[in-house]
Structure 1
Amino acid sequence: MRRIKLIACLLSVIMTLNPAIIHAESQNKDISEKTKESQIKNESEDHSDAELSIQEVIRQEINELDSMESGVDYVPDEAVFHVDSREEAEETARQYGGELIDYGYGVATLKFNEDIKNVLGEAIRIDSVETAIEPNYIAEIDTYEIDSTGSTNTTYDPNEDLSGYQSWYKEKINLAGVEGLSGDGIKVAVIDTGADLDHSDLEDNIKESTNVMANPENTDGDDNNSHGTHVSGIIAADDDGKGITGIAPNADLYIIKAAGYDGKLTSADISKGIHQAMDYGVDVINMSFSTTGDSDVIRSAIDDAINSGIVCVSTAGNKGVDTKAYPAAYDDVFAVGSSTAFDTLSNFSNYGDWVELTAPGGESKKTDSSESIFSDIHNNSFKTKNGTSQAAPMVAATAALVLQSGHIKSKGKERVEDVREAILKTLNDKTYSYGGRSIMGGLDAGAAVKYIVERKQEPTEQKEEEQVRVGEELFTITYTGSVSYDGRKHVTSDKKTTKTQAADIDILVSVNGEYLTPDQYKIKFKNNKNAASDNSAKGPKFYVILKGKNFSKETKKIVKAEACDFSITPCDLSTADITYKSTKITRSGAVKISGLKYINPLGKKFALRGKGKNAAYHVTTVSDSSIIIDGTGNFIGRREIPIK
């Protein structure tokens, strides 16, 4: 459904006064021809204005349904729409002659006694209808199931190390290049058929699970299909020497069951699932399913997730066509096709300019084979499957690794764009083809991590300004908004630098345009010690304390209450002045760097720890001659330390 329907919904109040006209913007997500240098979606937009009545919007819906099959592409007797309250949803149900059967996250579901196409046909003739509704589209999981013959029925011991079994896809995506990253601390939501919550590979990594389906038999996310378990295992099966190992084995999993045994999802449940993932505070959402229905309800939920900084990944689909599939075709969602062990396009994979990359998904065959994707299934077991459903979670897991690197400090949509840049700009240069179909560029996890670690960001001096008015006096506090982290403390104002602080911030205070002298105020810092660069709630801030008899007690009190926040620019280990005494590799393989310290610009030394809450680095590579460390937390950059 086009955005015009969403706008029609939002302007329902206006329609009671003038039911004839609304203005809308249509958007077409057409992607320009991809090149190796620019494979990020740059959709061209058609900003033409249109004047459509609610009846004309409904007529568009009917025309779209002409190419769809009732019960296959949409739920025959249901409709969904955005609405601000249950009361408004009930009123819309009355106008259309339907029953409100579900409401949550601003999405209502109506049920009728006839096909939605007939309901819409009747609504065209009703002037009192004020809100546009859309079909409750059906999405399907995108796995090509292998027949239950041959090795499919093999029983695998979950206590056996299966991490190297049929793991060809890890080599194809250059997983070895991630150098020690495991997704630790990154939250990944899997919206799917649920997961085997007691699977020995998954139970430690599953942090939350829920069921967002309408009228669920149970409220947890337990899997009765196996698809969601298979996807979850690809992402984050733990690395404990038993069973398989996922691409991001230490990532936290949040299981959201939105499909049952039949593997079908609806627009309403997908939207609820996305919003549930947002409530969990996840970093990445994997959606291994697709629909041909362009739904405003799903699109809006996706937009909300991306604007909040959540990376979204979905499947291109398994029908071998170039028709757009959703949610993969929406803006800023990774649209993932499937490749084989032989670097060809999977014979089932959808394709087209809107598909951004491939990842291994196997090839459809009548029997199980070593070219399929081996992962967990329900009942604490294992199985091979093929599909874009298996390709998408490899991209989701790679996004988790990129985020864990600690080199993305942006927030909101910019955070998503940074992850997309790292992955899409580092695709391999292969063209995956099958017949007359092709997709250019395959996932390279190692290159994506390397790109984001080595990416040079131009330093910018961010000037911040806070103003406080007290009567006729306007106090203006101007300061540098971004400050460097020096190992322990941050910075103070000019001429107030201590030996433990680096002076890279300027604080100026003026009253009605006249600057105060340093003896007329002092600076009080809060959260100045060991503040975290990735935790804005505990970020450093300061207060201006006015001094002298020139200011009244009330003025001093009001100005003092104004908090001035500044962000932390992490210390770059690749260029920092560091020193150490010695390095040692124990018989067990543990790495010890003795006396590793960072020297700040004022000559103060601070110890750098490799473990614990305030760890500054982790070891990524060890050779006979050197140790390579990567910064973490308030430290970034890579540093090679010779063994001595």
Structure 2
Amino acid sequence: MAKRKTLAEILCISMLFTLVGTAAPKSAYGENLNLMSEMAMESELQSMNGYEEGKDYSEGKAFFEADSEEEAMKVAKSYDASLESYSSGIGILSFEGSVKDKLEDGVSTLSVTTPIYPDYYVYTEDYINRGTLLDGSEDGEKADVQTAVTDPDYDYQWFHSKVKSEEAWKVSNGDGVKVAVIDNCFMAEHSDLVDNVAATYNAADGSEDVSLSSNIKNKEHGTHVAGIIGAVSDNGLFGTGVAPKAELYLVKIANAEGKLTISSVIRALEWAAEHKVEVVNMSIGTTSISQGTKAQLQEAIDNVVDTGAAVVVAAGNYGASTECYPAACDNVIAVGAIGKKTASHTADASCLADYSDYGNYVDLAAPGTAIYSTVPENGTSSACDLDGTSMAAPIVTGVAALVYSAHPELISENTETTAKAVMKKLTSSTDDVEYSSSKTGGTVTGCIDAKQAVEGSVSSSVYVKLKDKTITNGGTYWLPLGKSEKLVITDKSGKKIKEANKKGAASFEISGSASFKLSNKKVKCDKKAAAYSLSTDSVSKADSARVTITYGGEKIVLRFIALDKIKAAGYISGNKIKKNITRTVPVGKSISINSAEALAGLEVDYWSRSGKTYNILGDADSVGYVLKVPAKASKNGMITENSEGEPLTFTPGRKGSYKFTVVSPANGVKFKITLKAVD
């Protein structure tokens, strides 16, 4: 489930703080809405540097959140702007002047209580190596497969054999599963799609019109992606989708100008959440996005995951390890592409595609080259090959639909726990082969295996307990330089499974950077590994390793990323890093404790150290932490938890001091928070 699922994202902008001399104090979030809005936009203004209006984001436009159109109108008035549109909780403003000027006006205007954000462009993630168009009847070079599927061009679809679609179809076919396809535009009436199209939505204008328009670049893209997921099988037309019985919810994000924007993506995700879809596919991406806008995108992804949807995203076609969004967001599966084209409709499936992105944020791979699927052609239904991670992602999306279909009881659950269980099932259902590109040197481990994915239970009975007492059945974790992590197999409660921990009972395999070693169920990071630090301003540039543990027919995949040693946790006050804080809270009032920032009332940062200089690595909520809750809090108050047992709120029932501790990953640096309850 990509990169920092349990760690989240480290800020790409590093800061320096030196104990000698002075430093600007770090402000806490105030209770006043004006101050919160001001701080959000000041931060956004800083992170916009380096991006160009009209090139990286929409000119004279910005977006914001609102609960109603009436509220959106008030926001527009407060900014002296026009409300261009409002849909699915997102309003878009249009105005004279630049976006930066409007944000600066918002910072200085007392009447503004809602922050606005630049509307960054996103792009379809296809490599565009278009094959010959077919009408479903031509003869051509076909893969050497034996099949009972009757669609005339099925044998052009080599990817079905690679991911073992036919074996998976013996278990499920996607029946009853709702899949949202968020893309540029669609030919919803395509003859090989129309029977599976359940609903349409235009996220740009709020209508149901998802049709093609001449000003949209690569206008065949969305239709091609939808066909890979859910083209109808055995209808005598073209090929078939990975989940041929899935219900397609087609969401157009291209606006009237033919542009794809973040605001439309967020609207699309909110619409998908409202319709309680089981799977979301986004074959789109950008490397140009500021921190505040990224946070809005992440919130929308989290919301749809909360409703039980697995989210699958194309990794990007830059042939690099630079993070592409939304693929590098949390709570998504980022998919790289396999294949080097050898002939029409066929590819060498033993290598990573040269165009495919790779790195620590990419979870797995799927066929992406010479992928044959549905496209429009001059108003008629057709099909052709396209290349790209855009084509790889919907293969995984189709497999996700097969998983839900194989376990229909999951469809009605609509919970975050379900979504994360399905995503972990997918990331552990691979062939474990390391695919590499000789051109870029990039590697991605594991091609999706549909047969594995639909077999067995989605819920796990086998877990691993880490040093910090984290109990996990898969995810990504930091490992500081020179430190090691002992891997103990447990049940869900963290109780050690004695039989599983006996010598030879479970298999442990490691792949990735040579800076990580695995011995006696212990993984160690070398002191000289390339770690996330000021010299590696991207998480993807840090060394990492993948550890696969197999026991009792279950597989756990853990990824470890090298991190500079955390030397301090806290916040800046004057010219010092404060390592504790005391807050006064009323007895009987609920306090959010589901994030370090909410609990402390300010951002808690982690720092590494070089001499007398401290380098900020990221905040605790981004890097990850373990929260120690005092026994007194449960005895003299009430703690609420989510479905995974994580604390959400604390309500003190009596006066007194309640001491919580935020503990950093792996090496246990602490930040102490005392809540002093008063009448």
TM-score (norm 2): 0.56
Quote the residue 1:108 is aligned against.
Answer: 91
1:420 matched to 2:392: no
1:31 matched to 2:22: no
Q: Distance in 2 between matches of 1:454 and 1:96?
A: 49
Letter in 1 for 2:104: G
Post-superposition Cα deviations, 1:462-507, rounded to whole Å, max 9, x if no partner, equal xxxxxxxxxxxxxxxxxxxxxxxxxxxxxxxxxxxxxxxxxxxxxx
Q: Distance in 2 between matches of 1:164 and 1:230?
A: 15
- From 172, 177, 182, the equivalent of 2:162 is 172
Q: Distance in 1 between matches of 2:243 and 2:256?
A: 27
- From 185, 195, 212, the equivalent of 2:186 is 195
Shift of 1:357: 1.0
Quote the residue 2:371 is aligned against.
Answer: 373
Q: Distance in 1 between matches of 2:357 and 2:244?
A: 29
Letter in 2 for 1:197: A
Shift of 1:326: 2.1
Shift of 1:331: 1.9
Shift of 1:146: 2.3
User: Given that residues 338 and 435 in structure 2 are in contact (C-alpha distance below 8 angstroms), is that contact kept between their aligned partners in structure 1?
Assistant: yes
Quote the residue 1:449 is aligned against.
Answer: 454
- From 425, 429, 432, the equivalent of 1:429 is 432
- Pick closer, same or farther for the CA change 1:326–1:171 going to 2, 3 Å: same
Q: Distance in 1 between matches of 2:454 and 2:408?
A: 9
Quote the residue 2:355 is aligned against.
Answer: 348
- Pick closer, same or farther for the CA change 1:280–1:125 going to 2, 3 Å: closer
TM-score (norm 1): 0.59
- From 24, 28, 32, the equivalent of 1:51 is 28
Q: Distance in 2 between matches of 1:114 and 1:136?
A: 15
- Pick closer, same or farther for the CA change 1:260–1:231 going to 2, 3 Å: farther
Q: What does 1:617-628 align with in structure 2 at a 5 Å threshold?
A: none
- From 257, 265, 279, the equivalent of 2:252 is 257
Post-superposition Cα deviations, 1:336-360, rounded to whole Å, max 9, x if no partner, equal 1111133222222222211111111
- From 434, 440, 445, the equivalent of 2:445 is 440
Aligned-residue Cα RMSD (Å) equals 3.0
Give the length in aligned residue pairs.
408
Quote the residue 2:317 is aligned against.
Answer: 318
Q: Distance in 2 between matches of 1:453 and 1:94?
A: 49
Letter in 2 for 1:231: V
Greater shift in the superposed pair: 378-387 or 407-416: 407-416
Q: What does 1:587-598 align with in structure 2 at a 5 Å threshold?
A: none
Shift of 1:56: 4.1
Q: What does 1:597-636 align with in structure 2 at a 5 Å threshold?
A: none
Partner secondary structure for residue 451 of structure 2: helix
- Pick closer, same or farther for the CA change 1:179–1:235 going to 2, 3 Å: closer
Partner secondary structure for residue 422 of structure 1: helix
Shift of 1:179: 4.3
Quote the residue 1:604 is aligned against.
Answer: none
- From 282, 299, 302, the equivalent of 1:287 is 282
Quote the residue 2:221 is aligned against.
Answer: 227
Shift of 1:230: 0.4
User: Given that residues 284 and 399 in structure 1 are in contact (C-alpha distance below 8 angstroms), is that contact kept between their aligned partners in structure 2?
Assistant: yes
Q: Distance in 1 between matches of 2:375 and 2:123?
A: 18
Higher relative contact order (CA 8 A, sep 6+): 2
User: Given that residues 357 and 440 in structure 1 are in contact (C-alpha distance below 8 angstroms), is that contact kept between their aligned partners in structure 2?
Assistant: yes
Q: What does 1:492-507 align with in structure 2 at a 5 Å threshold?
A: none
Quote the residue 1:152 is aligned against.
Answer: 132
- Pick closer, same or farther for the CA change 1:456–1:121 going to 2, 3 Å: closer
Letter in 1 for 2:310: V
Letter in 2 for 1:321: A
Post-superposition Cα deviations, 1:97-120, rounded to whole Å, max 9, x if no partner, equal 321111222221111112212322
Shift of 1:45: 7.2
1:274 matched to 2:269: yes
Greater shift in the superposed pair: 155-164 or 332-341: 155-164
Shift of 1:155: 5.0
- Pick closer, same or farther for the CA change 1:263–1:425 going to 2, 3 Å: farther
Post-superposition Cα deviations, 1:402-441, rounded to whole Å, max 9, x if no partner, equal 1111276454001111111211112221112222222222
> What's the % identity of the aligned pairs?
33
Q: What does 1:454-603 align with in structure 2 at a 5 Å threshold?
A: none
Post-superposition Cα deviations, 1:154-191, rounded to whole Å, max 9, x if no partner, equal 55439993343321111221223314221111111111
User: Given that residues 280 and 397 in structure 2 are in contact (C-alpha distance below 8 angstroms), is that contact kept between their aligned partners in structure 1?
Assistant: yes
User: Given that residues 135 and 238 in structure 2 are in contact (C-alpha distance below 8 angstroms), is that contact kept between their aligned partners in structure 1?
Assistant: no
- Pick closer, same or farther for the CA change 1:445–1:408 going to 2, 3 Å: farther
User: What stretches of structure 1 of length at least 5 have no aligned partner?
Assistant: 1-28, 33-40, 363-371, 459-644
Partner secondary structure for residue 354 of structure 2: coil
Q: Distance in 2 between matches of 1:343 and 1:396?
A: 21
User: Given that residues 426 and 453 in structure 2 are in contact (C-alpha distance below 8 angstroms), is that contact kept between their aligned partners in structure 1?
Assistant: yes
Shift of 1:373: 0.6
User: Given that residues 421 and 458 in structure 2 are in contact (C-alpha distance below 8 angstroms), is that contact kept between their aligned partners in structure 1?
Assistant: no
Q: Distance in 2 between matches of 1:454 and 1:253?
A: 26
Partner secondary structure for residue 154 of structure 2: coil
User: Given that residues 266 and 300 in structure 2 are in contact (C-alpha distance below 8 angstroms), is that contact kept between their aligned partners in structure 1?
Assistant: yes
Quote the residue 1:185 is aligned against.
Answer: 176
Shift of 1:361: 0.8
Shift of 1:383: 1.1
Post-superposition Cα deviations, 1:74-98, rounded to whole Å, max 9, x if no partner, equal 1121111112333433333233332
- Pick closer, same or farther for the CA change 1:407–1:190 going to 2, 3 Å: closer
Q: Distance in 2 between matches of 1:325 and 1:207?
A: 30
Partner secondary structure for residue 334 of structure 2: strand
Shift of 1:325: 2.1
Partner secondary structure for residue 62 of structure 2: strand
- Pick closer, same or farther for the CA change 1:197–1:317 going to 2, 3 Å: same
Partner secondary structure for residue 169 of structure 1: helix
Shift of 1:134: 0.8
Quote the residue 1:339 is aligned against.
Answer: 338
1:42 matched to 2:6: yes
Shift of 1:257: 1.6
- Pick closer, same or farther for the CA change 1:220–1:55 going to 2, 3 Å: closer
Greater shift in the superposed pair: 424-433 or 320-329: 320-329
User: Given that residues 229 and 241 in structure 2 are in contact (C-alpha distance below 8 angstroms), is that contact kept between their aligned partners in structure 1?
Assistant: yes
Query: Which is greater in Rg?
Result: 1
Post-superposition Cα deviations, 1:133-169, rounded to whole Å, max 9, x if no partner, equal 111121111111126xxx5355543999334332111
Q: Distance in 2 between matches of 1:116 and 1:220?
A: 29
User: Given that residues 134 and 295 in structure 1 are in contact (C-alpha distance below 8 angstroms), is that contact kept between their aligned partners in structure 2?
Assistant: no
Post-superposition Cα deviations, 1:203-259, rounded to whole Å, max 9, x if no partner, equal 11112223222386xx32234411111011101111123311111111111112222
User: Given that residues 87 and 203 in structure 2 are in contact (C-alpha distance below 8 angstroms), is that contact kept between their aligned partners in structure 1?
Assistant: no
Q: Distance in 1 between matches of 2:315 and 2:423?
A: 16
Letter in 2 for 1:317: G
User: Given that residues 57 and 121 in structure 2 are in contact (C-alpha distance below 8 angstroms), is that contact kept between their aligned partners in structure 1?
Assistant: yes
Partner secondary structure for residue 420 of structure 1: helix
Shift of 1:313: 1.2
- Pick closer, same or farther for the CA change 1:242–1:31 going to 2, 3 Å: closer
- Pick closer, same or farther for the CA change 1:95–1:332 going to 2, 3 Å: same
Shift of 1:64: 2.1
Quote the residue 1:246 is aligned against.
Answer: 241
